[in-house]
Amino acid sequence: MSNSNLTRRGLLKTSAVAGAGVALPTIFTASSAAAYTNEPTGSTVTLGFNVPQTGPYADEGADELRAYELAVEHLNGGGDGGMMNTFSSKALQGNGILGKKVEYVTGDTQTKSDAARASAKSMIEKDGAVMITGGSSSGVAVAVQALCQEAGVIFMAGLTHSNDTTGKDKRANGFRHFFNSYMSGAALAPVLKNAYGDDRKAYHLTADYNWGYTTEEAVRSSTEAMGWETVAAVKTPLTQTDFSSYIAPVLQSGADTLVLNHYGGNMVNSLTNAVQFGLRDKQVNGKDFQIIVPLYSRLMARGAGANVKGIFGSTNWHWSLTDEGSKAFVKSFGEKYGFPPSQAAHTTYVQTLLYADACERAGSFQPCAVVEALEDFEFDGLGNGKTLYRGDDHQCFKDVLVVKGKENPTSEFDLLEIVEVTPAEQVTYAPDHPQFQGGALGSCNDGA
């Protein structure tokens, strides 16, 4: 139907132009004298802080960024040194990393894997970052981790809770300090048993994407192991804002416990809706109806207001911990910004310190050397007690906090109280655990 007259001659000419284009780049010699991607040659080293600055997680991103700025300040010898003073490894001198002053670039992940990769690429290609860190969702973490593996830089994950990040999507250049779905389930189960008994009927509402699936699986298997019955598990769309039609049938099903495998805005809305429906005032099977939120975030809990009171969940870290490391961190963060740090801020601060320390111990920024220094590294004093960075999957193993919404908060930050600190042994699993199967770490990549 198109009558355009493409001639053979025309085509030949076009392909000639095309040929010239292909030949062009080879005129210049590739200058890959560097031993690895973005080897810092001057007196500074650049880190890339890739956090959500727009979109629903912008506030978490802002808190991560504050922690990064604080970490950079401490690494360069400014401020009071924060957790550098309590960290069990004493390699960091407060003179930057390996004597190079730490500089940083920031970017916006928009909580979309495409945008996050674009931002990370610009840090690697344009700004010469040797390490990328940050993020507030597992989709982004997995996408950026794969990119860093390809490009030959280190990725220190920020807030990412899905099993997949160090499970089927693990990469040799990527490291996760944050805990994961399995650990949440393992830590919550005993506490729930104590509080609610071993004869409960649970109804799961699960966000319909990867993180939701792994969290549901983890919580289900650990609660079923202690005798709970799972009545039903219903998947809810990520874009859902009003959960009434999912929550209303819960009572009809005869369940006496509701598990909300939701995060962020989903969690705020589903929890608010559930409380609105008066579920917590009900009695089913002769027991008080209960709600559980496997992954808590203080920033997000604020959005749910008084609805979180008395609701169990797990968290990676909380500012009310009283060990020396946490106290030092809360103090320097609080004095600088005027409010306590979130768990996202904590994990990103720690990740930056861990990376810097690994470089110091390895004596190089070379990714493979850093990977070697971090693998099976044991440390203490960073707020979670004794911690191991396991070499098999690059996941940190440490204590997990089980928390509960506080009944009488003294301020807008004081929303959660720690119920139990579950010791690391109890949440440790074998590297080939069924929930983490598939995928391979591969070997470290230096790039260049």
Partner 1 sequence: MMDAIILQVLNGLDKGSAYALIALGLTLIFGTLGVVNFAHGALFMIGAFCAVTLSRIITLSHEVVDESRTDFLGNPLKVDVPYVYDLFGQQTGETIIDWAVPLAILFAIPVMILIGVVMERGLIKHFYNRPHADQILVTFGLAIVLQEIIKYFYGANPIPTPAPEAFTGSFDFGAMLGMEANQIIYPYWRLVYFAFAALIIGAVFAFLQFTTFGMVVRAGMADRDTVGLLGINIDKRFTIMFGIAAAVAGLAGVMYAPINSPNYHMGMDFLVLSFVVVVVGGMGSLPGAVLAGFLLGILESFASMKEIIDLIPGINQIIIYLVAILILLTRPRGLMGRKGVMED
Partner 2 sequence: MLGLNKKDTSLLILVAALALFAPFILNPFPVGSAMAQFNAGYPDLMQRFVIFGIFAIGFNILFGLTGYLSFGHAAFLGVGSYAAVWMFKLLSMNVVPAIILSVITAGLFALVIGYVSLRRSGIYFSILTLAFAQMTYALAYSVLTPITGGETGLQLALDDPRVLDGAATGDNIPVPGFFGMEMRGSSQLEIGDWAFTFSNGYYFCAIIMLLSFYLSIRIFRSPFGMMLRAIKSNQQRLYYTGLNARPYTLAAFVISGMYAGLAGGLMAAMDPLAGAERMFWTASGEVVLMTILGGVGTLIGPVLGAGLIKYMENILSKINSDILHGWFAFLPDGLEDLIVTLIYPFIGKGWHLTLGLMFMLVVIFLPGGLVEAGQRISRLFGRKKADDKSEKSTSTEPAE
Tell me the one-letter amino acid at 248.
Answer: A
Produce one character per residue of 177-201: b if its CB has 16 or more CB atoms within 10 Å, e if not.
bbbbbbbbbbbbbebbbeebeeebb
Count CB atoms within 10 A of the CB of residue 85.
16
* 14 touching partner 2, by CB under 8 A: yes
Q: Would you say 74 and 332 are in contact if contact means Cβ atoms under 8 Å apart?
A: yes
**Residue 57 contact among partner 2, partner 1, none, beta carbon within 5 to 8 Å by kind:** partner 1
Between CA 18 and CA 39 the distance in angstroms is 34
Extract the tokens encoding 210.
Answer: 């990867």
Cβ neighbours of residue 249 closer than 8 Å, sequence gap 6 or more: none
Would you give the binding string for partner 1 spanning residues 364-403, x where CB under 8 A is met? ----------------------------------------
Kindly tell me which residue out of 45, 70, 84, 115 binds partner 2, with binding defined by CB under 8 A: 115
Q: Which two tokens stand for residue 420?
A: 């139990």
Give the DSSP H or E segment for 107.
strand 101-108
Is position 229 an interface residue for partner 1 (rule: CB under 8 A)? no
285 touches partner 1 by CB under 8 A:
no
Out of partner 2, partner 1, none, what residue 322 binds, judged by CB under 5 to 8 A for its kind, is none
Q: From the list 91, 226, 234, 421, which residue makes contact with partner 1 (rule: CB under 8 A)? A: 234
In angstroms, the CA 42 to CA 339 distance is 36
Nearer to partner 2, 326 or 445 (CB): 445
Q: Per CB under 8 A, does 338 bind partner 2? A: no
What is the distance between the alpha carbons of residues 149 and 158, in angstroms, rounded to a whole number? 16
Q: Please tell me the distance from the alpha carbon of residue 200 to that of residue 231, in angstroms, as a whole number.
A: 10
Which of partner 2, partner 1, none does residue 429 bind (CB under 5 to 8 Å by kind)? none
User: Of 86-94, 113-121, 193-201, 343-351, which part binds partner 2 (CB under 8 A)?
Assistant: 113-121
- Shortest reach from residue 414's CB to partner 1, in Å: 7
Burial of 99 from C-beta contacts in 10 A (0-12 / 13-18 / 19+): exposed
Provide the 3-class DSSP secondary structure of residue 377: strand
**Total residues in contact with partner 1, by rule CB under 8 A:** 54
Q: Which of 39, 58, 336, 391 binds partner 1 (CB under 8 A)?
A: 58
10 binds, among partner 1, partner 2, none (CB under 5 to 8 A by kind): partner 2
Q: Tell me which residues in 298-337 interact with partner 1 (CB under 8 A).
A: 299-300, 302-307, 319-320, 330-331, 334-335
Nearer to partner 1, 93 or 245 (CB): 245
223 sits in which H/E element: helix 210-225
Identify what 96 binds: partner 1, partner 2, none; CB under 5 to 8 Å per kind: none
Least separation in angstroms between CB 382 and partner 1 = 19
Do 393 and 430 touch, CB atoms closer than 8 A?
Answer: no
Residue 107 touches which of partner 1, partner 2, none (CB < 5 to 8 A by kind)?
A: partner 2
Task: List the single partner that 277 binds among partner 1, partner 2, none, CB under 5 to 8 Å by kind.
Answer: partner 1
Among 91, 98, 118, 232, binds partner 1 (CB under 8 A): 232
Task: Tally Cβ neighbours within 10 Å of residue 395.
Answer: 28
- Rounded to whole angstroms, how far apart are CA atoms 43 and 128? 13
- Distance between CA atoms of 357 and 370, rounded to whole angstroms? 9
| Distances, alpha carbon 357 to alpha carbons 55, 56, 373, in Å | 33, 33, 9
DSSP SS3 for 253: coil
β-bridge partners, 51: 108
Is the distance from CB of 289 to CB of 202 less than 8 angstroms?
no
If one asks whether residue 284 binds partner 1 (CB under 8 A), the answer comes out as yes
Q: Is 61 in the site for partner 2 (CB under 8 A)?
A: yes
Query: Which residues in this chain contact partner 1 in the complex, by CB under 8 A?
Result: 55-59, 62, 208, 232, 234-237, 239, 241-242, 244-246, 248-249, 251-253, 265, 268-269, 272-273, 276-278, 281-282, 284, 299-300, 302-307, 319-320, 330-331, 334-335, 339-340, 410-411, 413-414
Query: Which residues in this chain contact partner 2 in the complex, by CB under 8 A?
Result: 1-7, 10, 13-14, 17-18, 21-22, 24-26, 28-31, 53-54, 58, 61-62, 65, 105-108, 112-115, 117-119, 121-122, 125-126, 137-139, 142-143, 146-147, 149-151, 162, 164, 169, 172, 208-211, 213, 235, 237-239, 439-440, 442-443, 445
